[in-house]
Structure 1
Amino acid sequence: MSDATAGPQARGSAADGGGGSAPPSVAVVGLGLVGGSVARLLHARGVAVSGFDTTPRTRDAAVQAGLRVAPGLDALCADEPDVLVLAVPLRAMRAVAAEVARHVRGRTVVTDVGSVKGAVRDAVGAAGLGSRYVGAHPMAGTERSGFEASDADLLDGARWAVTVDASTRADALATVLRLVTGPLGGTAHVVTDDVHDESAALVSHVPHVLATELLGVVADAPVRDVALGLAAGSFRDGTRVGRTDPRRTEAMVTDNAAWVASALRVVVRDLEQLVQALESNAPVGEFFDRPDAVRALLGARDEPREPERVELDAAGRWRATLPALGAAGHVVVAVEGSAVVVR
């Protein structure tokens, strides 16, 4: 039996982050691929979770899946969940954050699952939610979209980025980390928004652009139909994310424009140099050998690290310590009392 279907009894202490406290209650705004997967996984783990989506068909499907669905954002916020997850498209984030700000109450912590953190922080800050906010982004997804594509297994055990800035409250951070490392079964790199957005540009947003370009090159080719008939694993794997909703990809790339543009300039430079070498019959080995260090890292097994406890102290020393550890590749694996456990 997998963890995703085992329920809270089978999870034991893992469901509460290993610290013995009850898992937080959660509300999810937006029940698409990621929001729906968050809700499904938490529901399977026995967490008190409710959701809302503006689309009646999505709400009906969520109810059919056994989820508790609120009739509106006001009702969703009225329950004062411990965590409210914004899982709406980036293009809708500012309007939704403003609406949430009208209704949120109590000590509800606001987080999100957006793939760009700087833009989301600007949106929630403009709405007056900055003191409640902790950024989050699960590094998992598919080329499909909508609640029908959501799956409890999609996020089970995922690596998350959790982002902080000078205004982040220690208790809010602990609440989000307890959720991620507890019932969501994941680990978390705690980093700044800029570190996340630069990293996401390299390993997510630029790959979406390149996959889209591969599809576009074939679309314009006179041998398109033959090429598609011959396409096998390399084309399938290289273009998978290019088959997602183009408006979603466009929003992701434009909201992270500075970091994506910077990375694409390097890509364009390298490809131009390769083109020149091919046209002049010059050596091209350096182009293909350059990634060797990353190939070795991707093929290596993670060495176990001794756990380190970082206190979420009132003096705020964790504000420097946790992002430095996160940027160096260390992940939070649990929350124990007033400390987070980092490996």
Structure 2
Amino acid sequence: MTLPQGPVAVVGLGLIGGSLARALVRAGIDVVGWDPDPRTMVAAEAAGVRAVESIEEACTAQPWLIVLAVPLVVVEQTARAVALAVSPGAVITDVGSVKGPVRDAMVAAGLATQFVGAHPMAGTEHSGFHASHPDLLVGVRWAVTLDDTTPLDGFCSVVELLVEVLAGTVHPLSDSAHDEAAALISHVPHVVATELLNIVAHSSIRDVAVGLAAGSFRDGTRVARTDPARTEAMIVENAGWVAPALLLAARDLERLAQDLESNAPTGWFFSRGDALRSGGADLGSQALRTMVLRADDRWQSDLASWGARGGRITGIGEASSLVVEDPQV
């Protein structure tokens, strides 16, 4: 396959949107960009992004792909603005860490049949275009979400961009599967990191603790050092999956505390993750095969179910064919 003609429009040029724009510019792709911050626009233009003055202007620049890289709290209003100017043939994607609410916003704006959800599993505790880097999203894992309205051509084009241009790997998932997984491996860790930081910040020996802190505290609290409003929005938007995971963690920690107080055995707590310590979370090197998608099949649900079992896409061929790695049996 070859990518459609035309530029890629990136709406929102913060850490992720800016890194994506920089990577695409480096790959020789025409990138149209917009951000509400004038200073960001100046910096983006200096980095090779074709800056425009509005979302409408970005949409009318004839992009084949529009990437929404705005905060979750403004996705709904951004989708409405895009809907007023986007051409029917354009594909719309996003980079949000929660997918269900984003799809709801697309449906409400009338953009469901143009939308392919996406989330790069990459980032830092920093924010803003000044923190972006063209390598941040290269070679990373992406979740690409779909439902029964997802366009086949649009899905394949987004996947091609991610695996061929950005050298990534794609995990196709339903929105709910993504949001449940993201709660476990991203959102709950953000909450735990924030609590670790909170405990030390309000301790009577805070200064001593900070003075003694080394790698374990630094690594355990790294993501808590990002913008707290951004973290809060992410957690709140995915509350349905984050809350039960936190309750489970709280029950385990409370039991551990009780066992420590009573000198009871605690091995049950420290050995529960043995399956992942031994490498069970890594698919390893799997045999490659070709999967052909056909628009007249239930390709969206079948592909999402396959992805939920651990399948991933590593390449793309002709006529909607994917190079895939199957999950371990």
TM-score by shorter chain over 0.5: yes
Alpha-carbon shift at residue 298 of structure 1 (Å): 6.3
User: 1:244-283, aligned counterparts within 5 Å?
Assistant: 244-283=226-265
Alpha-carbon shift at residue 220 of structure 1 (Å): 1.1
Q: Which residue of 2 aligns with 1:119?
A: 101
145-154 vs 99-108, greater mean Cα deviation: 99-108
Q: Which residue of 1 aligns with 2:300?
A: 319
CA displacement, residues 95-154 of structure 1 (integer Å, 9 cap, x when unaligned): 111001001014110000000000100111111111100100000000000000000110
Measure the CA separation in 1 of the matches of 2:202 and 2:223: 19
The count of corresponding residues between Structure 1 and Structure 2 is 324
Q: Which residue of 1 aligns with 2:29?
A: 47
User: 1:1-343, aligned counterparts within 5 Å?
Assistant: 19=1, 25-297=7-279, 302-337=283-318, 338-343=320-325
Preserved contact between residue 170 and residue 312 of structure 2 (Cα < 8 Å): yes
Preserved contact between residue 157 and residue 185 of structure 1 (Cα < 8 Å): yes
Q: Which residue of 2 aligns with 1:3?
A: none
Alpha-carbon shift at residue 286 of structure 1 (Å): 1.1
Measure the CA separation in 2 of the matches of 1:271 and 1:303: 32
Preserved contact between residue 23 and residue 182 of structure 1 (Cα < 8 Å): no
Q: Which residue of 2 aligns with 1:16?
A: none
Measure the CA separation in 2 of the matches of 1:149 and 1:21: 28
SS of structure 2 residue aligned to 1:283: coil
SS of structure 2 residue aligned to 1:40: helix
Measure the CA separation in 2 of the matches of 1:332 and 1:25: 24
Gapped runs of 5+ residues in structure 2? Answer: none
Preserved contact between residue 14 and residue 132 of structure 2 (Cα < 8 Å): yes
Measure the CA separation in 2 of the matches of 1:26 and 1:308: 30
CA displacement, residues 265-292 of structure 1 (integer Å, 9 cap, x when unaligned): 1100100110110010101011001101
The one-letter code matched in structure 2 to 1:317 is R
RMSD: 1.4
SS of structure 1 residue aligned to 2:136: helix
TM-score by length of 1: 0.91
SS of structure 1 residue aligned to 2:36: coil
Measure the CA separation in 1 of the matches of 2:284 and 2:254: 38
The one-letter code matched in structure 2 to 1:167 is T
Percent identity reads 53
Measure the CA separation in 2 of the matches of 1:322 and 1:24: 28
TM-score by length of 2: 0.95
Alpha-carbon shift at residue 22 of structure 1 (Å): 6.3
Measure the CA separation in 2 of the matches of 1:238 and 1:328: 29
SS of structure 1 residue aligned to 2:278: helix
Gapped runs of 5+ residues in structure 1? Answer: 1-18
Measure the CA separation in 1 of the matches of 2:217 and 2:99: 30
Preserved contact between residue 64 and residue 90 of structure 2 (Cα < 8 Å): yes
Measure the CA separation in 2 of the matches of 1:253 and 1:65: 32
